Structure 1
Amino acid sequence: MKLGVFMVLFGGRKLEDALDYVVSKGLKAVEIGTGGYPGNSHCNPKDLLENEAALKEFQQQIESRGLIISALSCHGNPLHPQKELADKDHEDFVNTVKLAQKLGVKVVNTFSGCPGDHEGAKYPNWPVAPWPNDYKEILDWQWENKVIPYWTEQAAFATAHDVKIGLELHGGFSVHTPATLLRLRAAAGKAIGANLDPSHMWWQGIDPVQAIHILGREGAIHHFHAKDTVIDPVNVNKHGLTDMQSYTNMLDRAWQFRSVGYGHDIKVWADMMSALRLVGYDFVVSIEHEDGLMSIEEGFSKAVDNLQQVLIEEPVSEMWWV
């Protein structure tokens, strides 16, 4: 495995400066934001696709430092019921897939998106209960008319460009659990897989180690994020896991994102690294830092230090004792 970072963390720095900093920390991979919610401060796919010289310079900046690109990431909502918003995120996705092929990058990360509840809707609707029956009817309509048709087409497009799609399992979107990921994969094809982020599993009450086993046995993990979550034992009883308070209200929230090791101990992270190796994932562990209690540099540095203790980097050796 290789340790990497989601570079949107350093969107305020010039690319070359950010890359030098990452290399100084001993990392070997970068995940680059190309649109959607992460933005494209380091990489605008449309510009690079239209300028071969700029594309080569971009690629050289990364390769000359001994880094690889683990994924291009354009997390958005291409199923948004407002067409202009959906079209923009869809365009970002299409251009990102095309750029990934040119760069030899095998994974494009994004969200599944979430549709509205009917053709005339203005906002997404994320059903979280099967009753009253309206919610189940909305969910069925979304999957049959929006989610499966869209992603079946995009999976074929990605496959034609030799790219896999890593959908981040995230609350608020149609694909948010191992089960919903596998449902879409069964319908749309094996180009669909997970960008598995354990932080989003914990707040939904899912054990990330078991999520790794469930998805990994199906070959459905395309990329992996490293971010932690802590659940407040008092506040969760007040607000529940679907706490709708702002992330900035950290003292009263039921849960919050933390840097690696500050929500769960290193043994838990070691178990995840072992589970990834066990199910055949031997690619990049990409740090994502959204810890409101730490600066960018400190939160990132502590995540690096903690993961370097448990990352399994060398190839599996022969079982000499067998």
Structure 2
Amino acid sequence: MKLGMLTACLPGWDLDRIATFAAAEGYERLEVAVWPGTGGRDFEAAHLPVATFTDEDASATRDLLDRTGLEISALAYYENNLHQDPARREEVRAHLRHAIDAAQVLGVPYVGTFIGRDNTKSVRENMAEGDRVLPELVDYAGERGVRLIIENCVMEGWHPDGYPGNIAYSPELWEWVTGLGFGLNWDPSHLTWIGIDPVETILPFAEHIVHAQAKDVELFPDRRDRYGFFGKVDKGDDPWEMGWWRFRVPGRGVVDWPHVVDRLYEAGFDGTLSVEHEDPLWSGEDVKVLEGLRIAHRTLRPLIAVDERP
């Protein structure tokens, strides 16, 4: 197991600066954000220009990795592959193909994305649509030696009423997701707030969990008693404001990280545990984001065995 970090928390930094920081702090791998950089959510970072990726870009990226001693564990483009707007869906699919092509050139094994959801349809109807349109993407990646991996984020902010906007949020749905050929980019924070014990999901899906994200969550049950499970009705201008929970960096929430890492080892996991920093207490300024990443590293580094083999 290697300790990595998702670069999306530093959208204003270039990859060289991020890699220099990550290596100095003891991170071993980068999960590199490759959104188009056209706006939207503030974590839609563009740290590799995959849509226009040239031989020069590839060479510069390899030189950076050689210089810092880092590896890229995955490229990250988490968008809605079942979007109800056909034009938007095709934009997402086209950029995902660009990410796959760049991963092939760089020898990166995984590209992370979401299943997503058509909010005008039920989960069952979305599954039927996924059966129709998603295998093409899985095949496109596989033909290039790349595997698509799906994060189990609920993406409640994509739905106007806080319902799941990404239909990969439960082990029941993972059976369908993995049956289509996707791997899992497993994240315990999302499981925790929807009432699923993350530790108990690891062994049943051990062969499919090929990458993992390290994000924590803080719960406020007294506020849930007011808002209910689906969160605030009046979210103001923030569709992600649920009111009764918030993301935290590892070690500052309720996830039992020693137990999680131990069970991942039991499952034979030898991939990357990648810190995904979305903690609002350690955001807003670069100095705070960096300290959040240091807190996460201090929490997780002692739990991960050091490979001293030559």
Indicate how the Cα distance of structure 1 residues 287 and 173 shifts in structure 2: closer, same or farther if over 3 A, else same: same
Question: Is contact 1:77-1:114 (8 Å) kept?
Answer: yes
Please name the residue that 1:209 is paired with. 199
The one-letter code matched in structure 2 to 1:66 is: G
The one-letter code matched in structure 2 to 1:44 is: P
How far is the alpha carbon of 1:312 from its aligned partner? 2.8
1:28 aligns with 2:14: no
Question: Is contact 1:232-1:254 (8 Å) kept?
Answer: yes
How far is the alpha carbon of 1:293 from its aligned partner? 1.3
How far is the alpha carbon of 1:30 from its aligned partner? 0.3
CA-to-aligned-CA distance 1:43-96 (integer Å, 9 cap, x gap): 111221xx2122211221123210000000111012111122111111111111
Matches within 5 A, 1:6-85: 6-35=6-35, 38-48=43-53, 51-85=54-88
5+ residue gaps, structure 1? 118-124, 126-137, 317-322
1:153 aligns with 2:156: no
Matches within 5 A, 1:88-99: 88-99=91-102
CA-to-aligned-CA distance 1:127-179 (integer Å, 9 cap, x gap): xxxxxxxxxxx3322211x1122222211222111111110112121211122
Indicate how the Cα distance of structure 1 residues 205 and 275 shifts in structure 2: closer, same or farther if over 3 A, else same: same
Indicate how the Cα distance of structure 1 residues 73 and 253 shifts in structure 2: closer, same or farther if over 3 A, else same: same
Give the TM-score, by structure 2 length: 0.86
SS of residue matched to 1:74 = strand
The one-letter code matched in structure 2 to 1:204 is: I
Please name the residue that 1:176 is paired with. 169
Please point out which of 209, 218, 229 is paired with 1:230: 218
CA distance in 2: counterparts of 1:315 and 1:276, whole angstroms: 20
Bigger Rg over Cα:
1
CA-to-aligned-CA distance 1:272-314 (integer Å, 9 cap, x gap): 1111111111111100111111221221110111111212333
How far is the alpha carbon of 1:246 from its aligned partner? 6.5
CA distance in 2: counterparts of 1:273 and 1:97, whole angstroms: 29
CA distance in 1: counterparts of 2:124 and 2:89, whole angstroms: 20
Matches within 5 A, 1:85-164: 85-117=88-120, 125=121, 138-144=122-128, 146-164=129-147
CA distance in 1: counterparts of 2:167 and 2:3, whole angstroms: 29
Please name the residue that 1:132 is paired with. none
The one-letter code matched in structure 1 to 2:61 is: F
Question: Is contact 2:178-2:184 (8 Å) kept?
Answer: no
Question: Is contact 2:62-2:106 (8 Å) kept?
Answer: yes
SS of residue matched to 1:64 = helix
Question: Is contact 2:79-2:116 (8 Å) kept?
Answer: yes
Question: Is contact 1:165-1:222 (8 Å) kept?
Answer: no
CA distance in 2: counterparts of 1:182 and 1:232, whole angstroms: 31
Question: Number of paired residues?
Answer: 287
Indicate how the Cα distance of structure 1 residues 178 and 297 shifts in structure 2: closer, same or farther if over 3 A, else same: same
Q: What RMSD over aligned residues (CA atoms) do the two structures have, in Å? A: 2.2
Question: Is contact 1:181-1:193 (8 Å) kept?
Answer: no
1:269 aligns with 2:251: no
Please point out which of 240, 250, 257 is paired with 2:247: 257
Question: Is contact 2:115-2:167 (8 Å) kept?
Answer: yes
The one-letter code matched in structure 1 to 2:44 is: G
Question: Is contact 1:261-1:303 (8 Å) kept?
Answer: yes
CA distance in 2: counterparts of 1:231 and 1:260, whole angstroms: 14
The one-letter code matched in structure 2 to 1:143 is: M
Percent of pairs with identical residues = 25
